[in-house]
Amino acid sequence: MIRRRGSGILLHITSLPSKFGIGDLGPAAYQFADFLSQTAQSFWQVLPLNPTDPISGGNSPYSSFSAFAGNKLLISPELLYREGFLEKSDLEEVTPFPPQRVNYPAVLEYKNQIFNKAFAQFKKNECDFEFDKFCEESEEWLDDYALFIALKNHYHGKVWSDWPESLRDKQEEALNSVRQRLTREIEKEKFLQYIFFKQWTELKHYCNQNGIQIIGDVPFYISYDSADVWTNPELFKLDENKKPTHVAGVPPDYFSETGQLWGNPVYRWDAMQGTGYRWWIKRIEHNLKYFDFIRVDHFRGFAAYWEVPASETTAINGRWVNSPGIDFFKTLLRRFPNLPIIAEDLGVITPDVRELIHEFEFPGMRLLMFAFNQNLPNHPYAPHNHIENCVVYTGTHDNNTARGWFEQDATEEEKQWLFKYLGREITAEEVSDELVRLAMMSVANMVILPIQDVLGLGAEARMNRPSSTEGNWEWRLSAEQLNQEVIHKLREITELYGRY
């Protein structure tokens, strides 16, 4: 339950300014934390920080090789230099990157070069107590992850189930052999994880010191091609060849006649229960170490999930399967008495999901841009129907910006409902400010605003288009956009509606 009134900004790390082609955990992240402090914000929400898959995952932070590891692309070259792992020339000899979009292939090529230099410098040191301590504390997930990535690189990106059978099945003799052959590659992956979590921990500490809490994001499902599924195949519905028998998705609805086939392997909840949900407890514990709140994506999966045979090409021929949500969260709460979870409960939510959210008093989400239709008087997203224990957004990373919605997506009827609600007609230039104001004046204790809506940006600043695989996760902010006018305006509205 959220017990105090506040507001914050949604901005993923990749969208921060940086001359290295992608936002990172360096100086611009600290400058953004200062911006949040100057504007009286209480929260910074980010997307998942796990490693992204550039091939099958399209660089989506929701498609990862690990539920525990950090994304090495977010490591700051400037902080590597300050820590003595790079030369000053490594920061100066940088081919100019496009400032407004992330060019992932170019960024990956550049950062791999500096990571190799940093690791070579690290190896010159006889010992590093902090590195050894990190490896020891993270051993339960780090050893498997580092070996998994080393093997993926060795087999040129092949899915783990297509590796030699002895490695696919994790036979100890075969694993010991490759550990010896790939010792340096394994240690390099551990080094990069050490650096990532060191940089992230220092940034989080800085934010917390300045009164800013970090909201992380935990996807419900795990990617099939991940260290987690390779290491724990018994927890997922796989066949004798370790291929999925069933995959995840959502059924046909108003937006899609064939539903959505996501392809993630589905959980064997009976096996999860048999271990006391050990893997999930470790996952939540890990995330609570690095975030103050966690937003759980696709929360409805804890009540029931849509399961589709792996042989299907659409999500039509699936079925609903119940999850042990009540038992699961009771078990979690015995381990974490104050569980700071935000439930992503968007879309079609059935009574069993509402019951689960109500039972444990988890705050759900309210999206303003979806409120303005013929159901407005009774719509739960409409401001007059908000409750204190919820999180209000103008939109999320999966939606258009407020201005983009108004200009491209909103029907004439939706615009008329919005005009009636505001008591006047507005222009595209005004819609972002108006939705921000509606959010901030809400009775809801927490408001999260995408930075794009604070700045009044259009569809060109959209982060993700779920129906498309091209051009997503690329948008970037420029330092000049967070000027004194923006700071004054955001702070004023934050104080006006009692969120300071």
pLDDT at 127 over 80: no
pLDDT at 255 over 70: no
The pLDDT tens digits for 403-428 are 999 999 999 999 999 999 999 999 99
Pick the catalytic residue from 144, 217, 307, 344: 344
In this structure, are strands 246-250 and 260-265 parallel, antiparallel, or unpaired? antiparallel
pLDDT at 256 over 90: no
144 is catalytic: no
Q: How far is CA 351 from the centre of its chain?
A: 27
The pLDDT tens digits for 8-26 are 999 999 999 999 999 999 9
130 is catalytic: no
- Cα separation of 24 and 207, whole Å? 15
Q: Is residue 1 part of a domain?
A: no
pLDDT band at 272 (very low <50, low <70, confident <90, very high): very high
Q: What is the pLDDT of residue 199?
A: 98
Pick the catalytic residue from 297, 434, 453, 474: 297
Q: Is residue 167 part of a domain?
A: yes
pLDDT at 53 over 90: no
Q: What is the pLDDT of residue 56?
A: 78
Give me the count of residues in the chain: 500
The pLDDT tens digits for 145-164 are 999 999 999 999 999 999 99
Q: Is residue 132 part of a domain?
A: yes
pLDDT band at 68 (very low <50, low <70, confident <90, very high): very high
398 is catalytic: yes
> How many structural domains are present in the chain?
1
Q: What is the pLDDT of residue 128?
A: 83
The pLDDT tens digits for 451-471 are 999 999 999 999 999 878 889
Q: Output the average pLDDT for the chain.
A: 96
Q: What is the pLDDT of residue 207?
A: 98
Residue type, 260: Q
Q: Is residue 309 part of a domain?
A: yes
- Cα separation of 498 and 5, whole Å? 7
pLDDT band at 347 (very low <50, low <70, confident <90, very high): confident
CATH number (domain holding residue 479): 3.20.20.80
Q: Is residue 404 part of a domain?
A: yes
Question: What range does the domain containing 53 cover?
Answer: 6-496
Q: Which residue has the tokens 């992330």?
A: 102
Q: Give the lowest-confidence range in 36-50, 336-350, 383-397.
A: 336-350
